[in-house]
């Protein structure tokens, strides 16, 4: 016979009954002390007499003992109840509670993109708010994600994995395990997190029979395991692919390249990109998050293979135009071969307008510091838009130092968070993010 939920609390091995009993004894002693004062000492004169009499000291002792027993019992009871949840947490419980409540009251933040750029936006912002939604591309068909996509028929989990890890505790062993990549054998190149997500989606599919929603349900379980600050959603649950028009270098000839993994293999310059099939529908929780957001940041990330594949999904760009949120496009720090070679900030924005039109965002945030140290020979920075360029008439363009000192071709998460909040005029304690 199954135990009723109430009786489970009476098990002898979980350290609950004794502290409940002692807490009740303590409360009883406190109650007796208060009752004795109320019934026996009803005037100021009586209270003065109580202080010098033995009866008064006895009542005080009963009251004080009750307070001490109650305090200790409730503290131990709370520690035992919360122990399973504190196992992977660091710091004092009260500090974690205060920090949790502060972040829960934060503004609703949506970040759109993929690759290795979007996690920078999430890592910095999770320090202030836990109301975070990452809307992530699922068009990748290369590497570990591509292999799982072909072998298991699941949406590519790589970009989703990176952003889930960005919202988790960076120092947690579970997060490190999630990001672990196998080096040898049949699993070489696979990330543990990719395998975990793909396996969980397959289990959900077998149980529910609904393959379309299996990834979304799997992500909920993954987020629970890692206790992330926010949520990560795919832009679509449909199978989506990329096709690019690439102009070959040293020639006026253009070719059509299908598949994200093949785009960077071509010796040329990318001119435009499309998603297929054209009738791919946006994932509705992603659309709803955009509509309800207070602040939306597009990027950073690869312009043609991480950002535009999201915005070209039917319903995403429409939601961005309809929302009341303040919307910022974060331009990359460095250019990318094939995709954005020799692009300035202006050319990034113009490429966005070419593919999705205007009115999708109000502001542009870009880097204006170009370190030489640690940059290496292959780093080519994105330069500012020419003075009086037309984008400055349509957008609020803000330049500031966004570079990571160790990897200056990438964004520093904390510099980026501060710059975004300042540009959006969100009133926060900036010092807490630095």
Tens digits of per-residue pLDDT, 257-282?
A: 999 888 888 999 999 999 999 889 99
**Residue 85: what pLDDT?**
53
How do strand 363-367 and strand 241-248 relate by DSSP bridges? Answer: unpaired
pLDDT in tens, 224-251: 888 888 999 999 999 999 999 999 988 8
pLDDT higher than 90, residue 133: yes
The enclosing H or E element of 78 equals helix 54-86
- DSSP letter at 186? G
Percent of the chain clearing pLDDT 70 (strictly above)? 83
**Residue 53: what pLDDT?**
54
Architecture of the structural domain at 100-137+235-240+277-433: 3-Layer(aba) Sandwich (3.40)
**Residue 361: what pLDDT?**
96
Residue 304's pLDDT band, with cuts at 50, 70 and 90, is very high
Torsion of CA 59, 64, 67, 73, to 10 degrees: -110
Rounded to whole angstroms, the Cα distance separating 145 from 122 reads 21
**Residue 142: what pLDDT?**
83
Which of 317, 307, 292, 297 has the alpha carbon at shortest distance from 348?
A: 307
pLDDT higher than 90, residue 173: no
Listed in sequence order, the residues at least 6 apart from 148 whose beta carbon sits closer than 8 Å to its beta carbon are: 154, 156, 157, 190, 194, 195, 198
**Residue 1: what pLDDT?**
44
Hey, how many other C-beta atoms are within 10 angstroms of the C-beta on 52?
Answer: 8
Which of 62, 75, 71, 7 has the alpha carbon at shortest distance from 34?
A: 62
What is the C-alpha radius of gyration for the chain, rounded to an integer number of angstroms?
A: 29
pLDDT in tens, 317-376: 999 999 999 999 999 999 999 999 999 999 999 999 999 999 899 999 999 999 999 998
**Residue 46: what pLDDT?**
55
Listed in sequence order, the residues at least 6 apart from 85 whose beta carbon sits closer than 8 Å to its beta carbon are: none
Residue 371 and residue 405 in contact, taking contact as beta carbons nearer than 8 Å: yes
pLDDT higher than 80, residue 292: yes
Question: For residues 142 and 132, which has the higher predicted lDDT (pLDDT)?
Answer: 132
For the ranges 111-115, 158-162, 208-212, 301-305, which has the lowest average pLDDT? 208-212
**Residue 52: what pLDDT?**
53
Hey, how many other C-beta atoms are within 10 angstroms of the C-beta on 267?
Answer: 11
> How buried is residue 289: exposed, middle or buried, by Cβ count under 10 Å (0-12/13-18/19+)?
buried
Residue 14's pLDDT band, with cuts at 50, 70 and 90, is low
pLDDT higher than 60, residue 44: no
How do strand 295-298 and strand 109-113 relate by DSSP bridges? Answer: parallel
Rounded to whole angstroms, the Cα distance separating 258 from 236 reads 19
pLDDT in tens, 46-102: 555 555 555 667 777 777 887 887 788 777 767 766 665 554 455 554 544 544 554
Residue 13's pLDDT band, with cuts at 50, 70 and 90, is low
Residue 142 and residue 241 in contact, taking contact as beta carbons nearer than 8 Å: no
The enclosing H or E element of 329 equals strand 326-330
Residue 243 and residue 293 in contact, taking contact as beta carbons nearer than 8 Å: no
Rounded to whole angstroms, the Cα distance separating 122 from 167 reads 6
169 phi, psi to nearest 5 deg: -75, 115
The predicted model gives 187-210 an average pLDDT of 88
Which of 293, 234, 342 has the alpha carbon at shortest distance from 109?
A: 293
**Residue 265: what pLDDT?**
87
Residue-range domain boundaries for the chain: 5-87, 100-137+235-240+277-433, 141-229
pLDDT higher than 60, residue 434: no
pLDDT higher than 70, residue 213: yes
Rounded to whole angstroms, the Cα distance separating 148 from 156 reads 7
**Residue 299: what pLDDT?**
93
**Residue 5: what pLDDT?**
59
């Amino acid at each position: 016979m199954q135990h009723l939920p109430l009786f489970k609390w009476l098990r002898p091995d979980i350290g609950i009954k004794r502290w409940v009993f002692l807490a009740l004894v303590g409360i009883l002693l406190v109650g007796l002390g208060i009752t004795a004062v109320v019934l026996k000492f009803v005037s100021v004169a009586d209270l003065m007499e109580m202080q010098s009499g033995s009866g008064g000291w006895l009542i005080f002792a009963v009251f004080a003992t009750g307070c001490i027993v109650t305090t200790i019992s409730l503290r131990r009871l709370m520690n035992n109840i919360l122990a399973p949840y504190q196992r992977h947490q660091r710091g004092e419980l009260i500090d974690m509670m205060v920090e949790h409540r502060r972040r829960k009251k934060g503004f609703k933040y949506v970040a759109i993109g993929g690759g290795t750029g979007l996690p920078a936006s999430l890592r910095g912002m999770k320090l202030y708010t836990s109301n975070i939604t990452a809307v992530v591309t699922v068009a990748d068909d290369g590497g570990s994600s591509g292999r799982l996509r072909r072998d298991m028929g699941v949406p590519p989990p790589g970009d989703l994995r990176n952003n889930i890890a960005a919202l988790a505790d960076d120092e947690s062993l579970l997060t490190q395990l999630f990001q672990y990549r196998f080096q040898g054998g049949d699993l070489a190149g696979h990330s543990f997190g990719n395998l975990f997500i793909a396996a969980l989606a397959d289990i959900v599919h077998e149980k529910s029979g609904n393959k379309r929603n299996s990834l979304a349900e799997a992500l909920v379980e993954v987020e629970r395991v890692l206790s992330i600050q926010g949520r990560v959603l795919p832009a679509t649950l449909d199978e989506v692919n990329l096709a690019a028009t690439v102009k070959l270098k040293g020639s006026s000839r253009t070719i059509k390249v299908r598949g994200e993994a093949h785009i960077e293999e071509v010796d040329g310059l990318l001119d435009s990109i499309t998603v297929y099939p054209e009738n791919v529908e946006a994932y509705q929780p992603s659309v709803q998050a955009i509509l309800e957001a207070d602040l939306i940041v597009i990027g950073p990330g690869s312009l043609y293979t991480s950002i535009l594949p999201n915005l070209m999904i039917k319903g995403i760009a429409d939601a961005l135009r309809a929302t009341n949120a303040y919307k910022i496009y974060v331009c990359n720090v460095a250019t990318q071969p094939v995709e954005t070679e020799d692009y300035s900030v202006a050319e990034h924005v113009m490429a966005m307008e070419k593919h999705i039109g205007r009115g999708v965002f109000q502001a542009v945030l870009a880097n204006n510091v170009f370190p030489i140290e640690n940059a290496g020979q292959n780093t080519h920075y994105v330069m500012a838009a020419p003075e009086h360029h037309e984008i400055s008439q349509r957008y609020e363009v803000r330049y500031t130092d966004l570079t990571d000192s160790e990897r200056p071709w990438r964004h520093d998460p904390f510099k980026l968070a501060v710059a975004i909040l300042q540009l959006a005029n969100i009133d926060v304690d900036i010092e807490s993010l630095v």
